[in-house]
Amino acid sequence: MAHHQMDPVRDDHGQWLKQYYFIRAAFSVAWVVAAFAVARSSPAIAGGLLVLYPAWDAAANFVDALRSGGLSQNRTQALNVLVSLATTVAVLVALQMSMNGVLGVFGAWAILSGLLQLGTALHRWRRFGAQWAMVLSGGQSALAGGFFIFQATMPAVPSIADVAGYAAVGALYFLVSAAWLTVSDWRRRARRMQQG
C-alpha cells in the first residue's frame, strides 16, 4: 500500500489524468454551447461541429494513450482512436445524405466508443481508482447509442441538438472524474503529511 502512495510515476500520471479530464470537459462544454448558440441557424457550422466531435475524440484518446504508456499498452484507447477516425469520415459522408444518417453514425460510434471507454476506465481503476464516473459514462454512452440508432429510423429529422445533449452528459462525467481525482489526491497528500 505504501509503495502506491509514494509512487512518483503514479502521481505524475494522476496529474495528467486530472488535466485530461478537465480539458475534455471544457471542450465538450464549448462544443455544446456552440451547438445550441450558433449551429442551429447555420447548417455549415452544424456540419463542421458534427465532424469535429469524433475527430477531437480521436485526437484526445491518441494523446492520452501516448501519455499513459503508448498505444500498445492502451489497446482500448488505440481502438477508440481508429473508431473515432472512421466515425469522422462516416459523418462527412452521411452529411451529404441526411441528418438521420448522421445520427445513426453517431449512434454506432456512441456504442463502440462507450464500450471502449468502459474498458479503459476498468483498466485504470486498478491503478488510480476514482474511475467510477468514466465507467458510468461508457455504459451510458452505449445505451445512448442504441437510442440514437432507433431515433435515426424515425421519420422526424434530427438536429445537432440531439447530439448536444449527449455531449453535455459526457462533459459532466469528465468534470466529475477530474474533481474526484483532485479530491482523492488531496486526501492522499494529507495522509502523507500526517505520516511524514
Cβ proximity of 5 and 191 under 8 Å: yes
Inter-residue long-range contacts of 144-148, CB under 8 Å, 24+ positions, other chains counted: 144/107, 144/110, 144/114, 144/169, 145/106, 145/107, 145/108, 145/109, 145/110, 145/111, 145/112, 145/114, 146/107, 146/111, 147/107, 148/103, 148/104, 148/106, 148/107, 148/110
Q: Look at the chain and report how many structural domains it folds into.
A: 1
pLDDT, one tens digit for every residue, the chain (196 residues): 334 444 555 566 678 888 999 999 999 999 999 999 987 788 899 999 999 999 999 999 999 999 988 888 899 999 999 999 999 999 999 999 999 999 999 999 999 999 999 888 888 777 666 677 888 888 999 999 999 999 999 999 998 999 999 999 999 989 998 888 888 777 766 676 777 6
pLDDT digits (tens, 9 = 90+) for 111-143: 999 999 988 888 877 766 667 788 888 899 999
Q: What is the DSSP letter of 96?
A: T
Planar angle of CA 20, 113, 59, nearest 5 degrees? 45
Angle at which helices 43-67 and 160-195 pack, to 10 degrees?
Answer: 30
Place of cell 502512495: 5
Q: Please give the residue range of the domain that contains residue 42.
A: 2-195
Give the integer Cα–Cα distance in Å for 184 and 102.
39
Q: pTM for this one?
A: 0.85
Residue 75, classified by CB atoms within 10 Å of its CB into exposed (0-12), middle (13-18) or buried (19+), is middle
Give the integer Cα–Cα distance in Å for 14 and 9.
8
pLDDT at 123: 81
Identity (one letter) of the amino acid at 159? S
